[in-house]
Chain A
Protein backbone atom coordinates (compact mmCIF):
# COMPACT_ATOMS: atom_id res chain seq x y z
CA UNK A 1 0.00 0.00 0.00
CA UNK A 2 1.42 3.35 -0.88
CA UNK A 3 1.98 5.88 1.90
CA UNK A 4 3.29 8.84 -0.07
CA UNK A 5 3.00 9.48 -3.78
CA UNK A 6 4.46 12.23 -5.86
CA UNK A 7 2.83 12.50 -9.28
CA UNK A 8 4.87 14.26 -11.96
CA UNK A 9 5.94 17.16 -9.79
CA UNK A 10 7.94 20.00 -11.28
CA UNK A 11 9.73 23.04 -9.86
CA UNK A 12 11.36 25.94 -11.67
CA UNK A 13 13.65 28.58 -10.25
CA UNK A 14 13.77 31.36 -12.78
CA UNK A 15 15.05 29.72 -15.95
CA UNK A 16 16.33 26.65 -14.13
CA UNK A 17 14.18 23.55 -13.80
CA UNK A 18 15.26 22.04 -10.51
CA UNK A 19 12.82 19.12 -10.56
CA UNK A 20 11.09 18.00 -13.73
CA UNK A 21 8.12 15.69 -13.95
CA UNK A 22 9.15 13.35 -11.14
CA UNK A 23 6.74 10.61 -10.02
CA UNK A 24 7.62 8.38 -7.10
CA UNK A 25 5.51 6.06 -5.00
CA UNK A 26 6.69 5.29 -1.48
CA UNK A 27 5.31 2.10 0.07
CA UNK A 28 4.11 2.07 3.65
CA UNK A 29 6.82 0.98 6.07
CA UNK A 30 9.53 0.97 3.44
CA UNK A 31 12.94 2.53 3.51
CA UNK A 32 13.64 4.35 0.27
CA UNK A 33 16.70 6.27 -0.80
CA UNK A 34 16.76 9.16 -3.23
CA UNK A 35 20.24 9.60 -4.63
CA UNK A 36 21.92 11.60 -7.31
CA UNK A 37 24.87 13.89 -7.86
CA UNK A 38 25.05 17.35 -6.29
CA UNK A 39 22.48 19.71 -7.69
CA UNK A 40 20.28 16.90 -8.97
CA UNK A 41 17.20 18.34 -7.25
CA UNK A 42 16.95 15.96 -4.31
CA UNK A 43 16.60 18.60 -1.61
CA UNK A 44 14.18 20.57 -3.77
CA UNK A 45 12.13 17.38 -4.04
CA UNK A 46 12.11 17.11 -0.22
CA UNK A 47 11.24 20.76 0.11
CA UNK A 48 8.20 20.28 -2.11
CA UNK A 49 6.99 17.29 -0.12
CA UNK A 50 7.37 19.15 3.18
CA UNK A 51 5.71 22.29 1.83
CA UNK A 52 8.68 24.65 1.97
CA UNK A 53 8.28 25.11 -1.78
CA UNK A 54 5.02 24.51 -3.54
CA UNK A 55 5.44 22.58 -6.79
CA UNK A 56 4.80 24.36 -10.11
CA UNK A 57 3.10 21.25 -11.44
CA UNK A 58 2.03 17.81 -10.28
CA UNK A 59 0.47 16.46 -7.11
CA UNK A 60 1.52 14.97 -3.82
CA UNK A 61 -0.64 12.60 -1.78
CA UNK A 62 -0.11 11.37 1.73
CA UNK A 63 -2.12 8.28 2.57
CA UNK A 64 -4.32 8.97 -0.49
CA UNK A 65 -5.07 12.51 0.66
CA UNK A 66 -3.77 15.48 -1.33
CA UNK A 67 -1.21 17.66 0.44
CA UNK A 68 0.09 19.58 -2.57
CA UNK A 69 1.00 23.17 -1.74
CA UNK A 70 -0.02 23.07 1.90
CA UNK A 71 1.98 25.14 4.40
CA UNK A 72 4.85 23.22 6.06
CA UNK A 73 3.19 23.26 9.47
CA UNK A 74 0.01 21.61 8.12
CA UNK A 75 2.06 18.96 6.36
CA UNK A 76 3.93 18.31 9.61
CA UNK A 77 0.59 17.97 11.38
CA UNK A 78 -0.58 15.47 8.78
CA UNK A 79 2.40 13.25 9.48
CA UNK A 80 5.51 14.11 7.50
CA UNK A 81 8.60 14.98 9.52
CA UNK A 82 12.07 15.78 8.31
CA UNK A 83 15.65 16.56 9.12
CA UNK A 84 17.79 19.09 7.31
CA UNK A 85 20.93 18.86 5.23
CA UNK A 86 22.57 21.74 7.09
CA UNK A 87 21.44 21.00 10.62
CA UNK A 88 18.65 23.29 11.78
CA UNK A 89 18.30 22.78 15.50
CA UNK A 90 16.96 25.36 17.94
CA UNK A 91 20.48 26.17 19.01
CA UNK A 92 19.93 28.15 22.18
CA UNK A 93 17.31 25.78 23.56
CA UNK A 94 18.04 22.71 25.61
CA UNK A 95 18.10 19.27 24.03
CA UNK A 96 14.94 18.25 25.85
CA UNK A 97 13.13 21.42 24.75
CA UNK A 98 14.11 20.77 21.15
CA UNK A 99 12.31 17.46 21.29
CA UNK A 100 9.37 18.96 23.15
CA UNK A 101 8.89 21.47 20.35
CA UNK A 102 8.48 18.49 18.04
CA UNK A 103 5.55 17.37 20.17
CA UNK A 104 3.65 20.61 19.84
CA UNK A 105 1.28 19.37 17.16
CA UNK A 106 -0.13 16.98 19.75
CA UNK A 107 -0.31 19.34 22.71
CA UNK A 108 -3.69 20.91 23.32
CA UNK A 109 -2.78 23.57 25.87
CA UNK A 110 -4.66 26.76 25.01
CA UNK A 111 -4.17 30.35 26.05
CA UNK A 112 -6.34 30.35 29.15
CA UNK A 113 -5.26 26.87 30.16
CA UNK A 114 -1.65 27.99 30.12
CA UNK A 115 -2.36 31.24 31.92
CA UNK A 116 -4.19 29.56 34.77
CA UNK A 117 -2.07 26.44 34.65
CA UNK A 118 -4.98 24.04 34.81
CA UNK A 119 -4.34 20.47 36.00
CA UNK A 120 -4.98 19.26 32.47
CA UNK A 121 -2.27 21.47 31.01
CA UNK A 122 0.13 20.55 33.78
CA UNK A 123 -0.28 16.82 33.28
CA UNK A 124 0.01 17.24 29.53
CA UNK A 125 3.29 19.11 29.96
CA UNK A 126 4.56 16.46 32.31
CA UNK A 127 3.63 13.74 29.86
CA UNK A 128 5.37 15.58 27.04
CA UNK A 129 8.48 15.84 29.15
CA UNK A 130 8.59 12.10 29.78
CA UNK A 131 7.85 11.29 26.18
CA UNK A 132 10.62 13.61 25.04
CA UNK A 133 13.00 12.03 27.48
CA UNK A 134 12.17 8.53 26.35
CA UNK A 135 12.76 9.58 22.74
CA UNK A 136 16.16 10.92 23.71
CA UNK A 137 16.90 7.63 25.38
CA UNK A 138 15.76 5.87 22.22
CA UNK A 139 18.26 7.72 20.00
CA UNK A 140 20.97 7.55 22.65
CA UNK A 141 21.08 11.14 23.87
CA UNK A 142 19.73 10.60 27.40
CA UNK A 143 22.80 12.15 29.01
CA UNK A 144 22.52 15.43 27.14
CA UNK A 145 19.01 16.46 28.30
CA UNK A 146 19.91 19.86 29.77
CA UNK A 147 22.66 20.86 27.35
CA UNK A 148 22.14 23.58 24.80
CA UNK A 149 21.66 22.03 21.40
CA UNK A 150 24.51 24.04 19.92
CA UNK A 151 26.98 22.44 22.34
CA UNK A 152 26.33 18.89 21.13
CA UNK A 153 28.91 17.07 19.01
CA UNK A 154 28.06 16.93 15.33
CA UNK A 155 26.85 13.34 15.23
CA UNK A 156 24.67 13.91 18.27
CA UNK A 157 23.11 16.95 16.61
CA UNK A 158 22.05 14.78 13.67
CA UNK A 159 20.53 12.30 16.07
CA UNK A 160 18.77 15.08 17.94
CA UNK A 161 17.21 16.23 14.69
CA UNK A 162 15.90 12.70 14.18
CA UNK A 163 14.53 12.57 17.73
CA UNK A 164 12.84 15.93 17.20
CA UNK A 165 11.30 14.72 13.96
CA UNK A 166 10.08 11.51 15.63
CA UNK A 167 8.40 13.61 18.32
CA UNK A 168 5.83 14.78 15.80
CA UNK A 169 4.61 11.15 15.53
CA UNK A 170 5.19 11.06 11.79
CA UNK A 171 3.91 8.53 9.28
CA UNK A 172 6.72 9.49 6.93
CA UNK A 173 10.21 10.52 7.98
CA UNK A 174 12.45 12.36 5.50
CA UNK A 175 16.14 12.32 6.29
CA UNK A 176 18.30 14.76 4.30
CA UNK A 177 21.87 13.41 4.30
CA UNK A 178 21.68 12.04 7.85
CA UNK A 179 25.20 10.55 7.75
CA UNK A 180 26.98 13.62 6.38
CA UNK A 181 30.00 14.40 8.51
CA UNK A 182 29.75 11.22 10.60
CA UNK A 183 32.62 8.83 11.23
CA UNK A 184 32.18 5.15 10.26
CA UNK A 185 31.20 4.12 13.80
CA UNK A 186 28.55 6.82 14.01
CA UNK A 187 27.31 5.85 10.57
CA UNK A 188 26.87 2.22 11.65
CA UNK A 189 24.93 3.38 14.72
CA UNK A 190 22.79 5.57 12.51
CA UNK A 191 22.09 2.69 10.14
CA UNK A 192 20.87 0.60 13.05
CA UNK A 193 18.80 3.48 14.34
CA UNK A 194 17.04 4.00 11.01
CA UNK A 195 16.24 0.31 10.71
CA UNK A 196 15.01 0.26 14.28
CA UNK A 197 12.77 3.28 13.72
CA UNK A 198 11.12 1.58 10.79
CA UNK A 199 10.69 -1.70 12.61
CA UNK A 200 9.52 -0.32 15.97
CA UNK A 201 7.21 2.37 14.72
CA UNK A 202 6.21 1.31 11.22
CA UNK A 203 7.36 4.67 9.88
CA UNK A 204 8.00 5.08 6.17
CA UNK A 205 11.57 6.35 5.85
CA UNK A 206 12.88 8.29 2.84
CA UNK A 207 16.46 9.43 2.79
CA UNK A 208 18.81 11.46 0.67
CA UNK A 209 22.33 10.22 1.16
CA UNK A 210 25.72 10.25 -0.48
CA UNK A 211 27.18 7.43 1.62
CA UNK A 212 26.55 4.54 -0.77
CA UNK A 213 27.43 1.87 1.75
CA UNK A 214 24.66 3.08 3.98
CA UNK A 215 22.26 3.47 1.09
CA UNK A 216 22.91 0.00 -0.24
CA UNK A 217 22.60 -1.57 3.19
CA UNK A 218 19.26 -0.23 4.27
CA UNK A 219 17.27 0.86 1.23
CA UNK A 220 14.58 -1.34 -0.20
CA UNK A 221 14.08 0.89 -3.18
CA UNK A 222 16.40 3.47 -4.68
CA UNK A 223 15.46 6.38 -6.93
CA UNK A 224 18.10 8.28 -8.85
CA UNK A 225 17.71 11.93 -9.82
CA UNK A 226 19.91 13.77 -12.22
CA UNK A 227 19.36 17.31 -13.49
CA UNK A 228 15.94 17.24 -11.90
CA UNK A 229 14.83 14.14 -13.73
CA UNK A 230 14.25 10.63 -12.51
CA UNK A 231 16.80 8.54 -14.43
CA UNK A 232 16.56 5.21 -12.65
CA UNK A 233 14.74 3.29 -9.98
CA UNK A 234 14.91 -0.18 -8.53
CA UNK A 235 16.50 -2.46 -5.97
CA UNK A 236 19.99 -1.61 -4.73
CA UNK A 237 21.52 -4.34 -6.88
CA UNK A 238 19.88 -3.02 -10.04
CA UNK A 239 20.92 0.55 -9.37
CA UNK A 240 24.50 -0.45 -8.69
CA UNK A 241 24.80 -1.77 -12.23
CA UNK A 242 22.58 0.69 -14.06
CA UNK A 243 24.64 2.36 -16.84
CA UNK A 244 22.58 5.57 -16.68
CA UNK A 245 23.40 5.96 -13.01
CA UNK A 246 27.08 5.33 -13.53
CA UNK A 247 27.07 7.86 -16.30
CA UNK A 248 25.34 10.43 -14.14
CA UNK A 249 27.83 10.02 -11.36
CA UNK A 250 31.03 9.48 -13.28
CA UNK A 251 30.40 10.92 -16.72
CA UNK A 252 30.14 9.25 -20.10
CA UNK A 253 33.73 8.09 -20.27
CA UNK A 254 33.20 5.79 -17.32
CA UNK A 255 30.93 3.51 -19.34
CA UNK A 256 32.81 3.30 -22.56
CA UNK A 257 35.85 1.98 -20.78
Chain B
Protein backbone atom coordinates (compact mmCIF):
# COMPACT_ATOMS: atom_id res chain seq x y z
CA UNK B 1 0.00 0.00 0.00
CA UNK B 2 2.68 2.39 1.04
CA UNK B 3 4.89 1.64 -1.94
CA UNK B 4 1.95 1.83 -4.25
CA UNK B 5 1.21 5.24 -3.01
CA UNK B 6 4.81 6.26 -3.34
CA UNK B 7 4.77 5.28 -6.99
CA UNK B 8 1.59 7.19 -7.64
CA UNK B 9 3.04 10.21 -6.00
CA UNK B 10 6.25 9.99 -8.00
CA UNK B 11 4.34 9.76 -11.24
CA UNK B 12 2.05 12.59 -10.24
CA UNK B 13 5.02 14.73 -9.25
CA UNK B 14 6.85 14.07 -12.48
CA UNK B 15 3.85 14.73 -14.67
CA UNK B 16 2.91 18.03 -13.10
CA UNK B 17 6.52 19.02 -12.97
CA UNK B 18 7.06 18.42 -16.66
CA UNK B 19 3.80 20.06 -17.58
CA UNK B 20 4.82 23.09 -15.62
CA UNK B 21 8.38 22.96 -16.83
CA UNK B 22 7.26 23.32 -20.44
CA UNK B 23 5.80 26.72 -19.75
CA UNK B 24 9.15 28.22 -18.92
CA UNK B 25 10.53 29.38 -22.20
CA UNK B 26 13.32 31.89 -22.30
CA UNK B 27 11.80 34.03 -25.05
CA UNK B 28 14.85 35.38 -26.83
CA UNK B 29 16.83 38.46 -26.06
CA UNK B 30 14.72 40.97 -27.85
CA UNK B 31 11.48 39.99 -26.22
CA UNK B 32 10.02 42.64 -23.96
CA UNK B 33 7.15 41.69 -21.76
CA UNK B 34 4.72 43.90 -19.94
CA UNK B 35 2.62 42.37 -17.20
CA UNK B 36 -0.84 43.16 -15.95
CA UNK B 37 -1.95 42.39 -12.45
CA UNK B 38 -5.63 42.61 -11.69
CA UNK B 39 -8.31 40.34 -10.29
CA UNK B 40 -9.41 38.03 -13.08
CA UNK B 41 -11.35 35.94 -10.63
CA UNK B 42 -13.37 36.96 -7.61
CA UNK B 43 -16.08 39.51 -7.10
CA UNK B 44 -14.48 42.38 -9.00
CA UNK B 45 -13.31 40.36 -11.97
CA UNK B 46 -15.39 42.47 -14.39
CA UNK B 47 -13.24 45.48 -13.55
CA UNK B 48 -10.05 43.47 -13.39
CA UNK B 49 -10.65 41.94 -16.76
CA UNK B 50 -11.46 45.33 -18.26
CA UNK B 51 -8.02 46.54 -17.15
CA UNK B 52 -6.36 43.54 -18.69
CA UNK B 53 -8.24 43.77 -21.98
CA UNK B 54 -7.64 47.51 -22.26
CA UNK B 55 -3.94 46.98 -21.68
CA UNK B 56 -3.90 44.09 -24.11
CA UNK B 57 -5.46 46.24 -26.83
CA UNK B 58 -2.90 48.99 -26.35
CA UNK B 59 -0.05 46.52 -26.41
CA UNK B 60 -1.20 44.74 -29.52
CA UNK B 61 -1.69 48.01 -31.36
CA UNK B 62 1.91 48.88 -30.65
CA UNK B 63 3.45 45.56 -31.55
CA UNK B 64 4.15 46.66 -35.11
CA UNK B 65 5.91 49.82 -34.02
CA UNK B 66 8.20 47.94 -31.66
CA UNK B 67 8.92 45.27 -34.25
CA UNK B 68 10.39 48.01 -36.38
CA UNK B 69 12.61 48.94 -33.47
CA UNK B 70 13.66 45.32 -33.28
CA UNK B 71 11.67 44.13 -30.27
CA UNK B 72 8.78 41.77 -29.83
CA UNK B 73 6.18 42.87 -27.34
CA UNK B 74 4.31 40.40 -25.22
CA UNK B 75 1.66 40.67 -22.53
CA UNK B 76 1.83 38.58 -19.37
CA UNK B 77 -1.49 38.72 -17.53
CA UNK B 78 -1.46 37.86 -13.84
CA UNK B 79 -4.49 37.24 -11.69
CA UNK B 80 -4.00 38.84 -8.27
CA UNK B 81 -7.43 37.59 -7.12
CA UNK B 82 -7.81 40.82 -5.18
CA UNK B 83 -5.69 39.12 -2.51
CA UNK B 84 -2.53 40.83 -1.20
CA UNK B 85 -0.78 37.51 -0.66
CA UNK B 86 -1.32 36.45 -4.24
CA UNK B 87 -0.44 39.91 -5.50
CA UNK B 88 2.92 39.91 -3.73
CA UNK B 89 3.66 36.38 -4.82
CA UNK B 90 2.87 37.31 -8.43
CA UNK B 91 5.04 40.41 -8.07
CA UNK B 92 7.96 38.20 -7.06
CA UNK B 93 7.31 36.01 -10.04
CA UNK B 94 7.20 38.79 -12.54
CA UNK B 95 10.27 40.34 -10.95
CA UNK B 96 12.08 37.09 -11.64
CA UNK B 97 11.39 37.28 -15.36
CA UNK B 98 14.05 39.71 -16.59
CA UNK B 99 12.21 40.39 -19.82
CA UNK B 100 9.31 41.97 -17.93
CA UNK B 101 9.95 45.70 -17.89
CA UNK B 102 6.71 47.13 -16.60
CA UNK B 103 3.40 46.30 -15.03
CA UNK B 104 -0.11 47.67 -15.34
CA UNK B 105 -1.91 47.16 -12.05
CA UNK B 106 -3.60 46.80 -9.66
CA UNK B 107 -7.30 47.27 -9.14
CA UNK B 108 -7.26 47.08 -5.35
CA UNK B 109 -5.12 49.41 -3.29
CA UNK B 110 -4.86 46.73 -0.63
CA UNK B 111 -2.98 44.63 -3.15
CA UNK B 112 -1.08 47.45 -4.81
CA UNK B 113 0.55 48.76 -1.63
CA UNK B 114 2.34 45.58 -0.55
CA UNK B 115 3.13 44.57 -4.14
CA UNK B 116 4.63 47.98 -4.87
CA UNK B 117 7.46 47.28 -2.40
CA UNK B 118 8.46 44.31 -4.51
CA UNK B 119 8.32 46.37 -7.69
CA UNK B 120 10.42 49.06 -6.05
CA UNK B 121 13.04 46.55 -4.91
CA UNK B 122 13.28 45.18 -8.43
CA UNK B 123 12.99 48.51 -10.24
CA UNK B 124 9.94 47.45 -12.22
CA UNK B 125 7.85 50.40 -13.27
CA UNK B 126 4.25 50.15 -12.21
CA UNK B 127 1.50 52.31 -13.64
CA UNK B 128 -1.76 52.00 -11.81
CA UNK B 129 -4.99 52.38 -13.74
CA UNK B 130 -7.21 52.33 -10.68
CA UNK B 131 -5.64 52.75 -7.26
CA UNK B 132 -6.82 55.85 -5.51
CA UNK B 133 -5.47 55.17 -2.00
CA UNK B 134 -3.40 58.15 -0.89
CA UNK B 135 -0.65 56.04 0.70
CA UNK B 136 0.37 54.32 -2.50
CA UNK B 137 2.51 57.18 -3.79
CA UNK B 138 3.25 58.82 -0.45
CA UNK B 139 6.34 56.75 0.31
CA UNK B 140 8.21 58.23 -2.64
CA UNK B 141 8.82 55.05 -4.54
CA UNK B 142 10.57 55.58 -7.87
CA UNK B 143 8.69 52.82 -9.65
CA UNK B 144 5.16 53.59 -8.57
CA UNK B 145 2.94 55.77 -10.74
CA UNK B 146 -0.75 56.20 -11.28
CA UNK B 147 -2.87 57.91 -13.87
CA UNK B 148 -5.93 58.29 -11.68
CA UNK B 149 -6.81 60.88 -9.09
CA UNK B 150 -6.14 60.18 -5.43
CA UNK B 151 -8.81 59.78 -2.82
CA UNK B 152 -7.78 63.08 -1.27
CA UNK B 153 -8.72 64.72 -4.55
CA UNK B 154 -11.71 62.58 -5.51
CA UNK B 155 -13.26 62.87 -2.05
CA UNK B 156 -13.25 66.69 -1.87
CA UNK B 157 -14.28 66.90 -5.51
CA UNK B 158 -17.28 64.75 -4.79
CA UNK B 159 -18.08 66.81 -1.72
CA UNK B 160 -17.82 70.03 -3.69
CA UNK B 161 -20.24 68.74 -6.25
CA UNK B 162 -22.61 67.42 -3.62
CA UNK B 163 -22.85 70.71 -1.78
CA UNK B 164 -22.67 73.08 -4.75
CA UNK B 165 -24.73 71.30 -7.35
CA UNK B 166 -26.91 68.95 -5.34
CA UNK B 167 -27.32 71.35 -2.42
CA UNK B 168 -26.75 68.55 0.06
CA UNK B 169 -26.65 69.69 3.69
CA UNK B 170 -27.30 66.53 5.65
CA UNK B 171 -25.23 63.62 4.43
CA UNK B 172 -25.40 59.96 5.30
CA UNK B 173 -22.16 58.09 4.56
CA UNK B 174 -22.06 54.36 3.97
CA UNK B 175 -18.96 52.38 3.06
CA UNK B 176 -18.37 48.74 2.26
CA UNK B 177 -15.50 48.22 4.74
CA UNK B 178 -13.08 47.37 1.97
CA UNK B 179 -9.80 49.18 1.49
CA UNK B 180 -11.24 51.02 -1.49
CA UNK B 181 -14.54 51.95 0.08
CA UNK B 182 -13.03 53.01 3.36
CA UNK B 183 -10.40 55.16 1.68
CA UNK B 184 -12.96 56.94 -0.43
CA UNK B 185 -15.50 57.43 2.33
CA UNK B 186 -12.94 58.65 4.83
CA UNK B 187 -11.56 61.29 2.51
CA UNK B 188 -15.06 62.46 1.75
CA UNK B 189 -15.84 62.59 5.44
CA UNK B 190 -12.65 64.48 6.23
CA UNK B 191 -13.51 67.33 3.88
CA UNK B 192 -17.10 67.34 4.96
CA UNK B 193 -16.01 67.74 8.56
CA UNK B 194 -13.58 70.54 7.68
CA UNK B 195 -16.31 72.32 5.79
CA UNK B 196 -18.65 71.73 8.67
CA UNK B 197 -21.28 69.86 6.75
CA UNK B 198 -23.61 67.76 8.78
CA UNK B 199 -22.69 64.07 8.74
CA UNK B 200 -25.71 62.22 10.05
CA UNK B 201 -24.04 58.84 10.29
CA UNK B 202 -21.03 56.89 9.10
CA UNK B 203 -22.08 53.28 8.63
CA UNK B 204 -20.56 50.17 7.16
CA UNK B 205 -21.94 47.22 5.25
CA UNK B 206 -20.44 43.86 4.39
CA UNK B 207 -19.18 42.99 0.94
CA UNK B 208 -21.12 40.03 -0.41
CA UNK B 209 -24.30 40.84 1.49
CA UNK B 210 -27.54 41.21 -0.40
CA UNK B 211 -29.90 42.72 2.11
CA UNK B 212 -29.19 46.32 3.08
CA UNK B 213 -32.66 47.07 4.39
CA UNK B 214 -31.34 47.36 7.93
CA UNK B 215 -29.00 50.23 7.28
CA UNK B 216 -31.45 51.81 4.85
CA UNK B 217 -34.06 51.95 7.56
CA UNK B 218 -31.61 54.03 9.53
CA UNK B 219 -31.29 56.31 6.52
CA UNK B 220 -35.05 56.68 6.51
CA UNK B 221 -34.99 57.59 10.19
CA UNK B 222 -32.24 60.20 9.81
CA UNK B 223 -33.76 61.90 6.74
CA UNK B 224 -30.58 62.93 4.91
CA UNK B 225 -30.63 64.70 1.57
CA UNK B 226 -27.70 62.73 0.14
CA UNK B 227 -26.25 59.28 0.58
CA UNK B 228 -22.55 59.01 -0.13
CA UNK B 229 -21.42 55.43 -0.72
CA UNK B 230 -17.81 54.26 -0.69
CA UNK B 231 -17.73 50.93 -2.44
CA UNK B 232 -18.14 49.01 -5.63
CA UNK B 233 -21.06 48.52 -8.00
CA UNK B 234 -21.97 45.08 -6.62
CA UNK B 235 -23.18 46.37 -3.27
CA UNK B 236 -23.78 49.90 -4.54
CA UNK B 237 -26.26 48.70 -7.11
CA UNK B 238 -28.23 46.70 -4.58
CA UNK B 239 -28.13 49.56 -2.12
CA UNK B 240 -29.55 51.98 -4.67
CA UNK B 241 -32.20 49.48 -5.74
CA UNK B 242 -33.33 48.80 -2.21
CA UNK B 243 -33.24 52.47 -1.27
CA UNK B 244 -35.59 53.27 -4.15
CA UNK B 245 -37.88 50.43 -3.04
CA UNK B 246 -38.10 52.13 0.32
CA UNK B 247 -39.15 55.32 -1.37
CA UNK B 248 -35.80 57.00 -0.74
CA UNK B 249 -35.48 59.07 -3.87
CA UNK B 250 -32.64 61.26 -2.64
CA UNK B 251 -29.44 61.40 -4.69
CA UNK B 252 -26.88 58.66 -4.06
CA UNK B 253 -23.29 59.43 -4.82
CA UNK B 254 -20.29 57.16 -5.19
CA UNK B 255 -16.80 56.97 -6.63
CA UNK B 256 -15.38 55.24 -9.65
CA UNK B 257 -16.48 51.95 -8.10
CA UNK B 258 -19.90 52.73 -9.58
CA UNK B 259 -18.34 53.15 -12.96
CA UNK B 260 -19.46 49.86 -14.42
CA UNK B 261 -22.18 48.66 -16.73
CA UNK B 262 -23.22 46.20 -14.03
CA UNK B 263 -24.24 49.11 -11.83
CA UNK B 264 -27.17 49.83 -14.10
CA UNK B 265 -27.98 46.16 -14.50
CA UNK B 266 -28.16 45.60 -10.74
CA UNK B 267 -29.81 48.82 -9.68
CA UNK B 268 -32.37 48.69 -12.46
CA UNK B 269 -34.59 51.70 -12.98
CA UNK B 270 -33.65 53.05 -9.58
CA UNK B 271 -30.25 54.07 -10.87
CA UNK B 272 -31.61 57.48 -11.86
CA UNK B 273 -30.49 60.20 -9.54
CA UNK B 274 -27.26 58.31 -8.85
CA UNK B 275 -24.02 60.21 -9.27
CA UNK B 276 -20.44 59.10 -9.44
CA UNK B 277 -17.03 60.63 -9.73
CA UNK B 278 -14.57 59.21 -12.17
CA UNK B 279 -11.18 60.17 -13.51
CA UNK B 280 -12.14 59.31 -17.07
CA UNK B 281 -14.11 61.74 -19.13
CA UNK B 282 -17.11 60.47 -21.00
CA UNK B 283 -15.72 59.77 -24.39
CA UNK B 284 -18.42 57.45 -25.60
CA UNK B 285 -19.83 60.23 -27.75
CA UNK B 286 -16.52 61.33 -29.22
CA UNK B 287 -15.26 59.71 -32.36
CA UNK B 288 -12.19 58.43 -30.49
CA UNK B 289 -14.41 56.82 -27.94
CA UNK B 290 -16.66 55.18 -30.46
CA UNK B 291 -13.60 54.06 -32.33
CA UNK B 292 -12.24 52.51 -29.17
CA UNK B 293 -15.46 50.63 -28.48
CA UNK B 294 -15.44 49.32 -32.03
CA UNK B 295 -11.84 48.13 -31.78
CA UNK B 296 -12.43 46.63 -28.37
CA UNK B 297 -15.47 44.65 -29.26
CA UNK B 298 -14.07 43.55 -32.59
CA UNK B 299 -11.20 42.07 -30.68
CA UNK B 300 -12.86 40.61 -27.61
CA UNK B 301 -16.42 40.02 -28.74
CA UNK B 302 -19.65 41.87 -28.11
CA UNK B 303 -20.13 40.20 -24.76
CA UNK B 304 -17.32 42.25 -23.28
CA UNK B 305 -18.81 45.64 -22.70
CA UNK B 306 -16.41 48.54 -22.48
CA UNK B 307 -15.87 49.74 -18.94
CA UNK B 308 -14.12 52.87 -17.82
CA UNK B 309 -11.36 50.64 -16.57
CA UNK B 310 -10.87 49.49 -20.14
CA UNK B 311 -9.78 53.05 -20.96
CA UNK B 312 -7.67 53.28 -17.84
CA UNK B 313 -5.96 49.98 -18.65
CA UNK B 314 -5.43 51.14 -22.21
CA UNK B 315 -3.93 54.45 -21.13
CA UNK B 316 -1.74 52.91 -18.44
CA UNK B 317 -0.27 50.57 -20.99
CA UNK B 318 0.10 53.48 -23.35
CA UNK B 319 2.17 55.38 -20.81
CA UNK B 320 4.38 52.39 -20.16
CA UNK B 321 4.98 51.88 -23.86
CA UNK B 322 5.72 55.58 -24.27
CA UNK B 323 8.33 55.35 -21.53
CA UNK B 324 9.68 52.17 -23.05
CA UNK B 325 10.01 53.78 -26.45
CA UNK B 326 11.79 56.80 -24.96
CA UNK B 327 14.22 54.62 -23.09
CA UNK B 328 14.96 52.53 -26.18
CA UNK B 329 15.76 55.64 -28.16
CA UNK B 330 17.87 56.98 -25.35
CA UNK B 331 19.74 53.70 -25.12
CA UNK B 332 20.70 53.76 -28.78
CA UNK B 333 18.07 51.29 -29.88
CA UNK B 334 19.34 48.65 -27.50
CA UNK B 335 17.19 46.88 -24.96
CA UNK B 336 16.94 49.20 -21.96
CA UNK B 337 17.41 48.13 -18.37
CA UNK B 338 14.54 48.14 -15.90
CA UNK B 339 15.99 51.24 -14.25
CA UNK B 340 16.07 53.09 -17.55
CA UNK B 341 12.48 52.19 -18.31
CA UNK B 342 11.41 53.13 -14.80
CA UNK B 343 13.01 56.57 -15.04
CA UNK B 344 11.73 57.14 -18.55
CA UNK B 345 8.16 56.41 -17.46
CA UNK B 346 8.43 58.79 -14.52
CA UNK B 347 9.76 61.40 -16.94
CA UNK B 348 6.66 61.21 -19.17
CA UNK B 349 5.22 64.71 -19.12
CA UNK B 350 2.39 65.03 -21.58
CA UNK B 351 1.14 61.79 -22.93
CA UNK B 352 -2.30 62.19 -24.48
CA UNK B 353 -4.25 59.10 -23.62
CA UNK B 354 -7.71 58.28 -24.74
CA UNK B 355 -9.34 59.07 -21.42
CA UNK B 356 -6.87 61.38 -19.74
CA UNK B 357 -3.72 63.30 -20.34
CA UNK B 358 -0.82 61.91 -18.34
CA UNK B 359 2.21 63.59 -16.86
CA UNK B 360 3.78 62.47 -13.62
CA UNK B 361 4.88 64.62 -10.73
CA UNK B 362 7.74 63.76 -8.39
CA UNK B 363 5.63 61.28 -6.45
CA UNK B 364 4.27 59.52 -9.51
CA UNK B 365 0.82 61.06 -9.39
CA UNK B 366 -0.77 62.28 -12.57
CA UNK B 367 -0.59 66.08 -12.77
CA UNK B 368 -3.46 66.17 -15.23
CA UNK B 369 -5.77 63.92 -13.28
CA UNK B 370 -9.19 65.44 -13.34
CA UNK B 371 -12.30 64.29 -11.66
CA UNK B 372 -15.44 64.08 -13.73
CA UNK B 373 -18.88 63.77 -12.25
CA UNK B 374 -21.47 61.64 -13.96
CA UNK B 375 -25.14 61.08 -13.46
CA UNK B 376 -26.77 57.81 -14.36
CA UNK B 377 -29.90 58.09 -16.38
CA UNK B 378 -30.89 54.64 -17.41
CA UNK B 379 -27.90 53.33 -19.22
CA UNK B 380 -24.17 52.98 -18.79
CA UNK B 381 -22.19 55.18 -18.89
CA UNK B 382 -23.88 58.04 -17.18
CA UNK B 383 -24.13 61.59 -18.42
CA UNK B 384 -21.19 63.82 -17.60
CA UNK B 385 -22.44 66.61 -15.39
CA UNK B 386 -19.29 68.18 -14.03
CA UNK B 387 -15.51 68.44 -14.22
CA UNK B 388 -13.24 69.30 -11.34
CA UNK B 389 -9.66 70.34 -12.01
CA UNK B 390 -6.84 70.02 -9.55
CA UNK B 391 -6.49 73.22 -7.52
Direct A–B contact in complex, judged by CB atoms less than 8 Å apart: no
